[in-house]
Chains A and B, each alone.
Chain A
Amino acid sequence: MTTPTIVKYEEALTRYEPVLGIETHIELGTNSKMFCGCPTTFGAEPNTQVCPVCLGLPGSLPVTNHAAIEGIIKIGLAFNCEIVEWCRFARKNYFYPDMPKNYQISQYDEPLCVDGHLDIEVEGETYRVEIERVHMEEDTGKSLHVGGATGRIHGADFSLVDYNRAGIPLVEIVTKPITATGDKAPLVARAYATELRELVRSIGVSDVRMEEGSMRCDVNVSLMPRGASEWGTRTETKNVNSLRSVERAVRSEIERQAAVLDAGRRVIQETRHFHEDTGVTTSGRSKEEAQDYRYFPEPDLVPMAPSREWVEELRATLPELPAARRKRVQREWSLSDLELRDVVNAGALDLIEATIAAGADAASARKWWMNELSRRATEQGVELTALPITPDQVARIQAMVVAGELNDKLARKVFEGVLAGEGTPDEVVAARGLKVVSDDGALAAIIDQVIADNAAVADKVRGGKVAAAGALVGAVMKASRGQADAGRARELILEKLGAS
């Protein structure tokens, strides 16, 4: 059998309609694990955060972490889900060394949160992604595969397992099939993952860092011929660990499946792996049928029956959610849709809002973060949030501009100094001598020199051509290396030339 080729994305979309499904795993940021008191610190030395419960030693019993259940209920509410009145954990049996118990505690046919939705925006259009379920489970350990291919021990193939991650609270958010996206499918998938991350981050239950694995996406894709009503066979692509990869994985699966179908073959229902370097997926194991996990109600844990009072208490603790916040900010800051999108994409919303809270006006706060500081972040190849300057400092610099102590040009020098680690804005101003010269005595000397050097222009102003004074103000600014108060300089020039 030959390897199927790729059908170009645009062409594939002329013949096929994609259907998506996205399963997202979120590690909750609790202090302790889901069913035991082990800590959850990321990056700890291997097997230093394990105990009889999370190692599945005989005689140990799990007890549910209250904060984890609070966390998942908050997530469920943020996704507009119904929180069920009664549900159980289920035991998902499988034999693989990443779970020392030989099963994972999860939920099966009784998820804690059901029937939600999340609205997302793609190129100005709103899509509603329906949420099937949000359920609670525990994370697995991490395996390091050694030998064989690496040649470290010839002929030997084994894995080294670290169970620090085993038992960390894990929330799985499952969408209903996402249809009718057409050629926007990859963008819809990415926008969904982006909005999901924002939403979960905003309620403070997880740090949702894809690069550290505290948020992981599995992407299901199937194709059906355009106009058909019956969905095709889907594949599940795992290992999708960045927002960009979510988009690329969907696109690459559409291209691959279209080639398989074009050749008159069938798409195999299987797990596939996404490779960051090549941007393509490769075949993993064939998907085990659900009954092979032999789910049954977890006998070691009692059912959960979250009271309506508790659910409402938790609902009341939810902060303003990202979509509502974006609407408010757009109104308060008078932004166009495009300007708002730029601010959101630059990750500047929190920074600008904090700068305003520290006293700056909205327009100036946005101007500094979106122009000056965004430019410098791009130059340094870092995120805006990673720049060594705080919203308080930006507000302080803007306050000096408002007070007339700095002009924009000098302010930019203060930004430069703060970013270079020269100290606070006030320290940079003092150390670099960056004060606007509005003191009349100091200005007068500069102005006299400028008038003497530009006699012809000065005569025009004396003759009533007030507009010509601009050239003299420019010369004063140049002579003062930008530190003159331009407004005051203009007043003094006109006064001296009898034109005021």
Chain B
Amino acid sequence: MSAITRDEVAHLARLSRLALGEDELDHLAAQLDQIISAVARVQEVTAEEIPPTSHALPLTNVYRADEVRPSLTPEQALAGAPAAEEQRFRVPRILDEEA
């Protein structure tokens, strides 16, 4: 049984706003299946006494003081934007999804 279905890849592509063609879906579904299967082998060596790990370092409670630091200028902030207008980032509107 495959680790990820073609439909699941199509769903993820939609969530990521990637326009994948039919042949690309076939191609990527097969590749992702291989990648996931390879990574899944890690599960074979997990043991009861090893808790799931989300962070590599045993640190907690790292905070910064509530102090203002200089921001970028709007020119700097917008320098890498593909399009800007009225000192704002100009992006294609995603219809039917009012935030």
Contacts and interface: CB of A to CB of B under 8 A. Distances in A.
Interface of A: 30-32, 36-39, 45-52, 55, 57, 63-69, 86, 88, 93-98, 100, 140, 143-148, 157-163, 273, 284-285, 292, 294, 296-297, 299, 301-306
Interface string B74-89: 1001101000011111
Given A157-B92, A162-B88, A305-B61, A285 B74 contact: no
Interface stretch (B19-27, B28-36, B42-50, B51-59): B51-59
Contacts of A45: 74, 87
Contact of A140 (B74, B86, B99): B99
Contacts of B15: 93-95, 292, 294
A38 B94 CA distance: 28
Given A63-B62, A65-B64, A47 B93 contact: no
13 contacts: A32-B67, A38-B71, A39-B68, A46-B87, A46-B88, A47-B87, A63-B63, A67-B65, A143-B99, A158-B90, A158-B93, A160-B91, A162-B89
A66 B64 contact: yes
Q: Which of B15, B57, B95, B99 has the most CB of A within 10 A?
A: B99
Nearest to B59: A302
Given A46-B74, A63-B63, A95-B15, A31 B68 contact: yes
Given A95-B17, A145-B93, A160-B86, A49 B71 contact: yes
A66 B95 contact: no
A66 B63 contact: yes
A141 to B, nearest CB: 8
A304 B91 contact: no
Closest 7 CB pairs of A and B: A37-B69, A67-B66, A160-B88, A297-B54, A66-B63, A305-B60, A157-B93
A162 B17 CA distance: 22
B77 A50 contact: yes
B7 interface: no
Nearest to A293: B15
Contacts of A36: 69
Contact of B85 (A148, A160, A273): A160
Contacts of B96: 284-285
Interface of B: 15-17, 54-55, 57, 59-74, 77-78, 80, 85-99
Contacts of B92: 157-159
A305 B72 CA distance: 32
B71 A161 contact: no
A160 B66 CA distance: 29
B65 to A, nearest CB: 6
A7 to B, nearest CB: 27
B63 A97 contact: no
A163 B97 contact: no
Nearest to B87: A46
A349 B98 CA distance: 39
Given A51-B71, A285-B96, A303 B55 contact: yes
A299 B88 contact: no
B85 to A, nearest CB: 6
Nearest to B60: A305
Contacts of A95: 15-17
Nearest to A68: B66
A65 B63 CA distance: 6
Contacts of B97: 96, 285
A366 B21 CA distance: 73
Contacts of A93: 15
A97 B59 contact: no
B97 to A, nearest CB: 5
B66 A30 contact: yes
Nearest to B56: A299
A160 B58 CA distance: 42
Nearest to A94: B15
Contacts of A306: 61
A38 B89 CA distance: 18
A96 B17 CA distance: 9
B66 A64 contact: no
B91 A159 contact: yes
Given A36-B69, A64-B62, A162-B88, 15 more contacts: A32-B69, A37-B67, A38-B68, A38-B71, A47-B77, A50-B77, A51-B72, A57-B80, A63-B63, A88-B54, A157-B92, A161-B89, A161-B90, A294-B15, A297-B54
A31 to B, nearest CB: 5
A47 B74 contact: yes
B63 A144 contact: no
Contacts of B86: 46, 144, 160
A204 to B, nearest CB: 14
B64 to A, nearest CB: 4
B71 A39 contact: yes
B60 A302 contact: yes
B93 A299 contact: no
B91 to A, nearest CB: 4
Nearest to A162: B88
